[in-house]
Chains A and B, each alone.
Chain A
């Protein structure tokens, strides 16, 4: 299937610092061929379908552990896909951002196979810690599925953040790179979520758009990565200490989102 992978994607794949074996498989089961097809698709969406802009790429460490932390919106993880694409197409050398997927995904046929072979593992503390110790780039959405479940009018808000990511960053001494993502709410304008139907097919919910199908519109998407935040500690601090750190990250992300929205609003549509 290698012939189906576009030249640019293949060149960038070759520069990824993953320890692939002779079949192009890394010790976590990431598969180079699947990554290639995955990036073919993401690249098409990013370059041809959406209008996409990524700034602040230099704030992402060029090598070694790092944790990209940002906001969710827009029905399902379009933002996650585009952040992964940004780290691959807009960064030199390219890096593979590894997300922490919702647990239900790994129980679904094909979704399980593709997420795992593309390095998007189930969001477990064990996975996160192991990947950081292996000097990989982690992508975290502390809002979780509540973040993607935001309706259209809620798209610029932030819901409650989980706190595990800060404890993990402290424990593994990982810099947090905050990012704000704007436009996913426009790409997938959710008017309601069907929770009961979702549960029937093994998903938390199914987003419904004004045009019914949960397909993305060719919207303008922007992401900005802010300067890395370093916290001192061990990860065993009291909740009050951790909450204060989480709040700082949250405010930083909210500020980046606001800035990025202004950029979008200032442009002629």
Chain B
């Protein structure tokens, strides 16, 4: 199958691309960033999704499936630019998919869609709306992109659309929100809170995405594997030192003294858990994780010592 992967030069993108190429698929990568040593069977085209060249790629190459991974979480790039990438990019991908006869589109989203708040339930199911958006406006365009992708299910019934809400990714590649939060030797926690964190090994994430492709999955699915662990244990098993500080103090010290920076809304994400029920995805695809929570942390720790 000819598969187009947006965001293919990212660490998870590369794992998915290599995996699909290894299984005999023809992989086209689309990314603004280069990937110089792409494996055999992978071609990377360096351009922006919202540029003319991206649409040309759909027209000339006619991919049968698209895996859309080119979204960004909170970052320093500014709200307008991030929104253009997340929402504008997602819209473009679905429009091109419809226009150029793509049969299957996978939107790779995040479980942070559900938001974290004092009154949010453990084990979110796919029918739940997002919470606490007002407290974390930096997340709004990802939530919008998720819901927009979901709307393709009724707007473009000819495309098998799957929206994957994947929990945090962790592993040797140290890619993603949780990995950067665990980046330093000392990791801040909010004193008096120890929420559950749910994460999946990066190779399991790549495997889950490939399964969604193979099974021509249609619908919205949470993707997770091992049961969640309290943040304090995650930090310790990752070989870091938890530093619980009162919330007021935390506000003043993030981004200094070797502490990672943290968007104001992200504080709720280290106070309250976001835990998802991934039962529907397991039943639909037969997915089973290969790496349990402790092995994933061990590998992260070994590859990323501090």
Interface residues, chain A, CB within 8 Å of chain B? 21-23, 25, 27-29, 31, 103-104, 106-113, 116-117, 121-122, 124, 126-127, 130
Contact = CB atoms under 8 A, between A and B. Distances in A.
B192 A112 contact: yes
Contact of A122 (B119, B195, B294): B119
Interface string B28-60: 000000000000000000000000000000000
Contact of A106 (B190, B229, B230, B272): B272
A126 B119 CA distance: 11
Contacts, number: 58
Nearest to B121: A126
A124 B121 contact: yes
Nearest to B294: A22
Contacts of B121: 122, 124, 126-127, 130
A103 B119 contact: yes
Interface string B123-135: 1000000000000
Contacts of B294: 22
Contacts of A29: 122, 195-196, 228, 230, 273
Interface residues of B, number: 23
A113 B192 contact: yes
A109 B118 contact: no
A92 to B, nearest CB: 28
Question: Could you say which of A21, A27, A28, A29 has the most chain B C-beta atoms within 10 Å of its C-beta?
Answer: A29
Contacts of A108: 192
Contacts of B195: 29
B193 interface: yes
B271 A124 contact: no
Contacts of B194: 113, 116-117
A212 to B, nearest CB: 26
A112 B122 contact: no
B247 interface: yes
12 contacts: A21-B227, A25-B230, A25-B233, A29-B122, A29-B195, A29-B228, A109-B191, A122-B118, A122-B121, A124-B119, A127-B121, A127-B122
Interface of B: 118-119, 121-123, 190-196, 227-230, 233, 246-247, 271-273, 294
Contacts of B193: 109, 112-113
Contacts of B233: 23, 25
Given A23-B233, A29-B196, A103 B118 contact: yes
A109 B247 contact: yes
Given A27-B227, A29-B122, A108-B192, 18 more contacts: A23-B233, A25-B229, A29-B195, A29-B230, A31-B230, A104-B118, A106-B118, A107-B118, A109-B190, A109-B192, A109-B247, A112-B118, A112-B192, A116-B194, A124-B119, A124-B121, A126-B122, A130-B122
A109 B149 CA distance: 37
Contacts of A126: 121-123
B271 A112 contact: yes
B192 A106 contact: no
Nearest to B123: A130
A131 to B, nearest CB: 10
A22 B123 CA distance: 21
Contacts of A21: 227
B56 to A, nearest CB: 47
Contact of A121 (B122, B191, B246): B122
A110 B194 CA distance: 9
A53 B85 CA distance: 64
Contacts of B228: 27, 29
B143 to A, nearest CB: 19
